Amino acid sequence: MAEFFPWWVGATYFLNLFFLLLLARSGLEALSTFPKLCWHDDRPPGREWVRFSKKMYSVDSLKPWSSSDEVEAWSPFITLPGKKNLGLGRHWHWHWHFMSIHFWVLTGVVYLAMVFATGYWHYLVPTHWSIIPDSTNSVGTYLHFQIPAMIPGEPFAPAPKLAHFTVLVLLLVLHVVITWLSLRYRRRTHRLLGIMVNPFERAVSKSFLSRESFRPKDISPYFRVNGYPPTSANYKQLAADEFRDYQLSIGGLVANPISLSLEELRRVGEQTKITKHNCIQGWTAVAQWGGVPLARIIELVEPQETAKLIVFYAFDDKGLTRGEGLYGFFYGTIPVHLAKNPQSILVLEMNGESLPIEHGAPVRVRLETQLGFKMVKWVCAIEFVEDYRDIGLGQGGWREDQQFYANAAGI
């Protein structure tokens, strides 16, 4: 009998549904940035199992394209928050993933299937305004400690039916409000979710070491590119001379600031490994990377006590290479401890050849416990700093600043 549901049924029902919708909608936001499903990792474009997009990109496309071109802008009516905001969508999504229990999904599916299969939904949705006076009357009946009559042919009395329907409407209203607030106050939402998630994520992933070990035969035939190469005359000139005049300056809060040519950099140390790249959009690819361990660089420059973070500045001005209202040079920061990880390197070679332009020549970062956006390509300078708040828009990286990505990106 609907009247005798204990209070906790209502409470868990409400919370389950509320969180579930947060999870699902922000998950769809993630799907919208890579609107395809693949049976295997590192599928080349065109080999996906299903595609929720009209756009087609191919391996041998004549026009250059970048994986951000594959992003679809889905409506905020469906995704949280919608309008191509993977950064906030992921924030919402992972926040609840950390706390979610998978049976939510199961109970939800069974419940929904039954509601429709049995035509039960007719009992849940009022179809006539008379439910309001009828409910008022049945409340009177309850107050007389009597059970009111059911709606003819239905298992509920008017008041419970109306109360249940009101809960559904409330859920809808809350989601509309959250979506609206996320879009209206993007930076505040970013900060708030960051405060709740980042310290937790950092603590959990701080001691992680990647255990992946791939063999040469695992190397992906196709490796997506994300981000268009720098367009400046300066960079093009350097590239034309095979980066002979390239100098990487490493400074900031260090005892020995230095500037190294590629030749000098190569002499600092050499390490290769085959690893899998994980882009936040959801695609992966395996490659062999060779370069200088960041730990060796740290030994060389001797950071001061106060140097907590390393900033990598890049040559690409995203206002020119990407546009869409975004601006500024690409950069990223990582905590110094991440750079000391033996798997963190400054890459000079990919799959045994010198690093291709589109993958970040002459120098890019590789970190094996982080998402792809943390691995700055086309690095022009490295700076040791105490805090990232006065760099760029103060969120710790170009994607954090401009796209609301979480600063903590452990995998």
Binding site for Mo ion (CB under 5 A): 226, 279-280, 372-373
Minimum CB separation of residue 273 from ligand MTE in Å reads 15
Closest CA to 403 of 332, 310, 314, 316: 332
Q: Restricting to residues 122-141, which ones interact with ligand MTE according to CB under 6 A?
A: none
For the chain, the C-alpha Rg in angstroms (whole number) is 27
With contacts defined by CB under 6 A, name the span among 55-63, 169-177, 250-258, 374-382 that binds ligand MTE. 374-382
CA distance 309 to 396: 10
Q: Of 269 and 328, which CB lies nearer to Mo ion in the complex structure?
A: 328
| Residue 262, contacted partner among Mo ion, ligand MTE, none, CB below 5-8 A by kind | none
Residue 190: φ, ψ to 5°: -55, -50
For residues 330 to 369, the per-residue mask of contacts with ligand MTE, x marking binding by CB under 6 A and - elsewhere, is: x----------------------------xx---------
- Residues 360 and 378 sit within 8 Å (Cβ to Cβ): yes
Residue number with CB closer to ligand MTE (151 or 379)? 379
Element housing 174 (H / E): helix 158-184
84 interacts with, out of ligand MTE, Mo ion, none, CB within 5 to 8 A per kind: none
Q: Residue 43: which residues within 8 A CB-CB, separation 6 or more?
A: none
Sign of CA dihedral 119, 123, 127, 128: positive
Q: Binding partner of residue 96 among ligand MTE, Mo ion, none, CB under 5 to 8 Å per kind?
A: none
Tell me the β-bridge partners of 296.
none
By a kind-dependent CB cut-off of 5 to 8 A, residue 314 interacts, out of Mo ion, ligand MTE, none, with ligand MTE
| Alpha-carbon gap, residue 252 to 307, rounded angstroms | 8
Distance, CA of 300 to CA of 250 (rounded, Å): 10
Report, in Å, the least distance between residue 68 CB and Mo ion.
8
Q: How far is the CB of 151 from Mo ion (least distance, A)?
A: 54
Ramachandran bin of 100, using left for φ above 0, alpha for ψ from -120 to 50, beta for the remaining angles: beta
Residues in the chain: 411
Residue closer to ligand MTE by CB (options 243, 330) is: 330
Q: Which of 123, 235, 378, 388 binds ligand MTE (CB under 6 A)?
A: 378
At closest approach, how far in Å is the CB of 162 from ligand MTE? 49
164 or 374: CB nearest ligand MTE = 374
Q: Is 380 in the site for ligand MTE (CB under 6 A)?
A: no
Binding to ligand MTE (CB under 6 A): which residues in 204-263? Answer: 223-227
Q: Indicate the SS3 state at residue 181.
A: helix
Distance CA 68, CA 77 (A): 22
Summarize as ranges the residues that interact with ligand MTE (CB under 6 A). Answer: 223-227, 279, 314, 316, 330, 359-360, 372-373, 375-378
